[in-house]
Structure 1
Amino acid sequence: MSALPTTKGLRTSLAILTMPDLDNGFRGNRSNFIDLIAKGKELGAFVFVVTTDDLRKATKRIYGHVYQPESELWVRQLLPMPQVIYSRIPTRTDEQLPEVQTLIADFARKRGVSLFNPYFFNKWALFEWLNTDKATRHFIPATRRLASPKELVAFIQSHPMTYLKPVRGKAGKGIMRLETYVPGQKYWCKLSIQDNKRSIVTNHLNIAKLWTRIKQETGEEDYIIQQGIPLAESMGRPFDLRVLVQKNQAGRWLLTGIGARVAGVKSITTHVPRGGHIDSPERALLSSFGERRGLLIFRKVSHAALVIAKRIEKESGFKLGEMSLDLGVDQNGRIWFFEANSRPMKFDEPDIRELSLTRIIEYSHYLSRPRPAQTGKKSGGS
């Protein structure tokens, strides 16, 4: 039997919450977890993995998965209840299970344990939150729920390029783009559907045929309609900015880093899994706006991200320690908000990656310090 982990001298115990797996113990990105465990050891935190099943059965002690770097093995051990829980539940489907919803709600209120980033965000809720505040509403493209053919026609009459996005989508999956043709063309509109690293294009004569095709793609899933933004371009291709903001050891939001994502040749999005590629934001902005104006826009993007993050956290009613934001810059230099993610994917830029791990541990130290209990309202993120 393996020895119990040594926690002497460590200030904080942090559990990474994920889903159980019958064959492998737990699900999730193990290399990501291992990186965070190593950073915790470096910065004075004991980090381990816990599943929803084990957390639900816990009282004062809890079964958790401890990584042993010497043998490169994970060992399930009985441990004290953690001070902080960091939710990395992999999917929305997992999170929406009734037993998981109950567990999250219970621990969000629990004294002595701080749970942060409890829910995925809901796109529609995000736009409602940001649209009702004067500090953030000017970042928001025109956005409506996709409810009927009549409402879709009314929207595209004002916006010749429109995006259709799943309310609970991730990494560009399920996104469609709709473009209306100028008078005199044979077809009324063109629909582009994102499919892995390319897009499937269909032309439509009227709203009836278009609506039939859209419903084939959306099924029962909720969608929003959003004004298309003519993005600034780097080397002839549209790009947007992926921004990571996190809290530090004082519980304050800070910019961790910004990366540029450039659209693929046949892709309607800039997501890397959908054919996009990574660029430096400085180079992309310089390519579009020149050095002086590009630097000014970079600073404005940093400020916008922090303003937006604070608003989202306030409206969610729960503790948030990090989020990634998709922000666009149009061809006139205006900044737009497209999406926020409460479970940021790993940034490939090494400097952003390293600082992101540090900030998670720093914020966990902050949460582990005793403070008065706080109550929150129901999130729109589940």
Structure 2
Amino acid sequence: MPIQVRVLVNAELQEGRRIDLLLHQDYRNKLNLPSHFYCTLEHGGQQALCFCQIGNVGTPMLKVDQQTAQQLSLYDGQQLHLKISSRGRLLLGPILGILVSRHYSNTPEQLFGNLTTFCHEVSTAAQARYIETIIFTPEQLLKATDHRMEAFVYRHGIWSMVHCPLPHLVYNRLSSRIYEHSEAYQQLKAVLKRHHIPMFNENFLDKWQIHQTFAQQTELQPHLPTTTMFQNKASLRQMLKKYAILYLKPIHGSMGRGIYRIQRLTQVKNPYLLQYMTLHGLQQRSYPTFQRLIDSLRVRMKQPYLIQQGLLLIKQHGSTVDFRALVQKNGNESWSITSLVARFGSSNSIVSNVARGGHALNAQQALQTLHGWKGRAPTIQQLRQMALRVAEIFDQSIDGDFAELGIDLGVDIYGKIWILEVNSKPSKTDDTLLQERTITRPSVRKMLQYVLHRTQFLYETPASNSISGSLLQRRKRLGR
């Protein structure tokens, strides 16, 4: 239940004895507390044995002795949730940690690069919901000692680096796939495991692994483009015999990077057309022979790739169109659709990613403006149902802890829905394009609901009768 912390000097709490905590009387019945008792007060793993008294302290709040506040890294005016654990401890929280790759101290206005706006939005919205948010890098976590670490917090309109408790839950927003395969990342996960701190969206996804998993699901099989690994020129030649258009995608790629489109033309001098995107826009190369095409690809492809069937997706004015569903676990830890947008590729682009120059539009509006159907266009409900089933099956089939997914769906000119990709690190800019910047976006609100539920700070655990019994025994031992 929500509570505000007030930090006071010892003299203001003393009434003939030392009182570490003075708790508003409203909490006595709500949490089934005695009028005075000894307890362990815990804030993110930091603990202090305190003598607590219930009293009339004005508005509902927790008055804390200054020494205790310092011991637990609490500050005056802090707003948190209070609950009782099954072991009779008073717990303050939750603390949400956002793990980022780095911080840029020389550019405080963009302290976390393109995640700065998102981190600010989460921190501000979390404060209004009595959730503490800390932003930290892997290096900061690896240096943690005694349940304390250095992290960034947003207070009084500025970012500050402070000493704070370890978080109750971590949201992984690391941007480097390479780092996630490093020894340092394994050490980071070991630290979290040692402190029993869960981390959601813990890693990037492997496109080939996802395809193989979905291909085993009868329900999803008809909606998967034919896909195979690029092993040698024979594998590409075989796919080109079946399909006039192919896409080559890096299995560890994201944001449309490193994708190649191959088209097999007829009755032309150079029948093999290769297209790809650079910072300068669409690039095209044509080759007279299949061997020349392969030679060119081998120079460019420095990591494992898969080969995927090209689809006759619906287009607008020649631009590629697909649909991005942001699917998140809600306050009940069930998957739900947060947003669904249509993404239009830039002129002559082979991808529709907003990060690669595309633009987004409300999905319902997009379906109303798209033309060229040779069948019946899908409904919004059909798109939503497909995205939701993909998320549910993903959760049942893929190892790991995930609470949000970016699911890309394509629709061909016949109205059939195709599963194009699943992303575990959906962009924090794409789903803001249709939102007013003066409000908290729905994806942030839903994530905070999930945090409260996952950490169980929405629920009040009734105190057992032992809260005065066993704790009074401690009092005798301590002579207090």
TM over 0.5: yes
Structure 1 residue 289, shift from structure 2 partner: 6.4
Q: Is 1:209 aligned to 2:292, yes or no?
A: yes
Q: Which residue of 2 aligns with 1:379?
A: none
Identity of aligned residues (%): 25
Q: Which residue of 1 aligns with 2:33?
A: none
Letter in 1 for 2:167: P
Q: Which residue of 1 aligns with 2:119?
A: 33
Structure 1 residue 102, shift from structure 2 partner: 3.1
Q: Which residue of 2 aligns with 1:78?
A: 163
Q: Any stretches of 5+ residues in structure 2 without a counterpart?
A: 1-72, 82-92, 458-480
Q: Which residue of 2 aligns with 1:67?
A: 154
Match of 1:15 among 83, 97, 101: 97
Letter in 2 for 1:60: H
Q: Secondary structure at the match of 1:9?
A: strand
CA offset digits 1:31-78 (Å, max 9, x no partner): 1100011111122211110221222232422221111243x2x22212
Q: Runs of at least 4 residues of structure 1 off by over 6 A? A: 289-292
Q: Is the 8 A contact 1:233 1:284 kept in 2?
A: no
Structure 1 residue 313, shift from structure 2 partner: 2.3
Q: Is 1:315 aligned to 2:397, yes or no?
A: yes
Q: Is 1:47 aligned to 2:133, yes or no?
A: yes
Structure 1 residue 198, shift from structure 2 partner: 2.2
The higher radius of gyration belongs to: 2
Letter in 2 for 1:36: V
Structure 1 residue 288, shift from structure 2 partner: 3.4
Letter in 2 for 1:95: E
Q: Which residue of 2 aligns with 1:192?
A: 275
Written as runs of structure 1 = structure 2, the 5 A alignment for 1:232-381 is 232-288=314-370, 294=377, 296-346=378-428, 347=431, 348-350=433-435, 354-369=441-456
Q: Secondary structure at the match of 2:225?
A: coil
Q: Secondary structure at the match of 1:350?
A: coil
Q: Which residue of 2 aligns with 1:121?
A: 205
Letter in 2 for 1:259: V
State how far apart, in whole Å, the 1-side matches of 2:440 and 2:207 are. 25
Q: Is the 8 A contact 2:407 2:421 kept in 1?
A: yes
CA offset digits 1:232-282 (Å, max 9, x no partner): 123553310011000111100000011111122121111123232222211
Deviates more, 1:151-160 or 1:184-193: 184-193
Structure 1 residue 315, shift from structure 2 partner: 2.6
Structure 1 residue 189, shift from structure 2 partner: 1.3
Q: Which residue of 2 aligns with 1:162?
A: 246
Deviates more, 1:51-60 or 1:116-125: 51-60
Q: Any stretches of 5+ residues in structure 1 without a counterpart?
A: 371-382
Compared CA separation, residues 339 and 110, structure 1 to 2 (3 A): farther
Match of 1:130 among 184, 199, 214: 214
Compared CA separation, residues 69 and 174, structure 1 to 2 (3 A): farther
Compared CA separation, residues 5 and 54, structure 1 to 2 (3 A): farther
Compared CA separation, residues 124 and 105, structure 1 to 2 (3 A): farther
Q: Calculate the TM-score normalised by the size of structure 2.
A: 0.71
Q: Which residue of 2 aligns with 1:174?
A: 258
Q: Is the 8 A contact 2:125 2:440 kept in 1?
A: no
Deviates more, 1:160-169 or 1:353-362: 353-362
State how far apart, in whole Å, the 1-side matches of 2:142 and 2:257 are. 32
Q: Calculate the TM-score normalised by the size of structure 1.
A: 0.88
Structure 1 residue 359, shift from structure 2 partner: 1.0
Q: Is the 8 A contact 2:314 2:372 kept in 1?
A: no
Q: Is 1:57 aligned to 2:132, yes or no?
A: no
Q: Which residue of 2 aligns with 1:376?
A: none
- Measured on the aligned residues, the alpha-carbon RMSD in Å equals 2.5
Compared CA separation, residues 210 and 6, structure 1 to 2 (3 A): farther
